[in-house]
Amino acid sequence: MIDPTAAGAVYDREFIVCSLDLLSGLAEGLGAGIESLVSSCLCIWYHFPFQVCPIHLHPRLQEFLTVAAKQLNPQSVKDAVSVANNACWAIGELAIKIGKEIAPVVITVVSCLVPILKSPEGSNKSLVENSAITLGRLSWVCPDIVAPHMEHFMQAWCKALCMIRDDFEKEDSFHGLCAMVAANPTGGAGSLAYICQACASWTEIKSEGLHNEVCQILNGYKQLLGNGGWEQCMATLQPDVVQKLARYGV
């Protein structure tokens, strides 16, 4: 079989991108109704069909995850940031769909996301946001794997979370934050001021369950530190941040 690339074939990138955007629109519009069209389609490797009919990717799930994770290594991000951004987003979506089945690639992905979060000035804004969201989703479904390493990224991650607008993706991220803190409260204690700032970044948490989780972790830290330690932490925060934290009962 001849390799078209090696043979010097030239592809119209804009045509390919527009075609994939069309598929994205169809997948979002038709939902599960697109299932019969996807089952035998090569474009199953594109990320939107997975959102509406994931069953067709399941037999090759680990292969898909491995390919996606490779797009997040530093050189791949440098070479094709849009590809890395899509891969990052897709991994986060997969995490929510498949839960703990994503465990084999969690550490690999997290190790790639952390440098992106720690150097936001030199990174694509969308990639930074997607990295923060995906890290949160991985933490939500596999807190036992991610929590032992939280000291290495918590501060940079919380800074990124502060920049994300209120929506369901931010909710997913905070479910991950709460799950990690519950699994390893001492690991987050050194970054408590950053956690507080992230919690205060919400205009309003509409999910009662998530609101209660945030209340629980903040009150847990208040009890852990004692009144003296808690007040010392509050003194490092801006008055408006402290005021916003009052909604969580601290």
Which of 56, 73, 105 finishes a domain?
56
CATH number at residue 181: 1.25.10
Alpha carbons 176 and 208: distance in angstroms, whole number? 16
- 144 and 28 in one domain? no
Please check whether residue 34 is in contact with residue 49, taking contact to mean a CB–CB distance below 8 angstroms.
Answer: yes
Predicted structure pTM score = 0.81
Task: Count up the domains in the chain and report the number.
Answer: 2
Same domain, 33 and 141: no
* Residue 35 belongs to domain spanning: 21-56
Per-residue pLDDT 10s for the chain (250 aa) are 445 555 555 666 667 667 766 766 666 666 666 565 655 554 444 444 455 555 666 777 888 888 999 999 989 898 889 889 989 998 999 899 889 999 999 999 999 999 999 987 778 999 999 999 999 999 999 999 999 999 999 999 999 999 999 999 999 999 999 999 999 999 999 999 999 999 999 999 999 999 999 999 999 999 999 989 999 999 999 999 999 999 999 9
- String of DSSP letters for 80-126: -HHHHHHHHHHHHHHHHHHGGGGHHHHHHHHHHHHHHHH-GGGS-HH
Q: Which of 56, 80, 104 is the last residue of a domain?
A: 56
Q: Is residue 127 part of a domain?
A: yes
